[in-house]
Amino acid sequence: MSDKFALPHSIDPYLYLQITPNDDDTLTRNYSNLPSSLQMVAATLDPDDHQTIAVSKDVTINKSNDLSVRIFLPRQALDSSSSTNKIKLPVIVYFHGGGFILFSVGTSMTHDFCSNIASEFPAVVVSVDYRLAPEHRLPAAHDDAMEALHWIITTHDEWITNYADLTSCFLMGTSAGGNIVYYAGLRAAAEADNMLPLKIKGLILHSPFFGGLNRTESELRLENNMHLPLCVNDLMWELALPIGADRGHEYCDPTVGGGSKLLQQIELLGWKVMVTGCDGDPLIDRQIELAKIMKQKGVQVVSHFVEGGFHSCDIIDTSKTTQFIVCIKDFILSSTVPACLVSQ
């Protein structure tokens, strides 16, 4: 292992993550040793199952790279008798966390969170099962995000064509998913005219996963944080970044060069960006710094930083999920309704 990713001897990050490296730059992921919230669950397609708040189904987008999505609909949406009279719902394209190396749309925690969003808003949620590193290093996940967006535009899938309002789309991601949303958002902004009728209204970066060569105060203060130890953070970047890259790479550190020039395009499009975090997360300093840079570039940023908590606690700790969803709803409302109406 290279010196630039040197790890403290007190913590074994491979054991912490329940992964085993293989000689061919792949991982054996020992999911069976993880908590029940991180086990796999199937899609829930039966609308007559009244225990299910949202129905879901898996759809393959591209067989050649094994890219798929899990689509969620509020169960009540299927209760209407005629599709021609349905009120179409906003689209939330969601990207799960896991340091780019773990988990999927079928991870129980991710599945339940997307079900709650679909039901509570209500909305059509498209959860993207992007490729994982190190088998597929960055920018593979960013590429998959863009392919999923283009699929939404062109697909004839009935759940999308009948229920999704493509003119009201939000990209949302947790942890590594927040990183994906940021970089996919930049790319989508650059080609916004070619993505019609899909109109992105905003980006939601939930506890986004960023890094850098120089340690921040929060990283040093929370070096042995039980939810995201610094050595685990470093290992995930080593496995996710392109071969030969370090944490100074732009995929890891969005502040390189003072921030992307494409942020100006996000400003021109009028997209809003929500950045959330908490001071119990080692990454909070980086999240705050990115929010600051975006504001300096003229982007409309809504920052939601709170005391306590831990990395991605809003979906890991289900007692916090309801309030978090309220915050998201408020952000989406402010991004789709004229300010003069929101203030009334």
The residues that are catalytic are: 175, 281, 311
Residues whose CB falls within 8 Å of the CB of residue 292, separated by 6 or more in sequence, listed in order? none
Question: What is d(CA 334, CA 328) in angstroms, rounded to the nearest whole number?
Answer: 10
Helix, coil or strand: residue 208: coil
Give the containing element (helix H, strand E) for 269. Answer: helix 263-269
Distance (Å) of CA 208 to CA 170, 214, 297, 340: 16, 18, 19, 31
What count of Cα atoms within 13 Å lies in the side-chain half-sphere of residue 21?
A: 12
How much is the CA Rg of the chain, to the nearest whole Å?
19
Question: What is d(CA 5, CA 89) in angstroms, rounded to the nearest whole number?
Answer: 45
Residues whose CB falls within 8 Å of the CB of residue 143, separated by 6 or more in sequence, listed in order? none
Q: How many CB atoms lie within 10 A of CB 273?
A: 26
Rounded to the nearest 5 degrees, what angle is found at the Cα of 168, between the Cα atoms of 141 and 322?
75
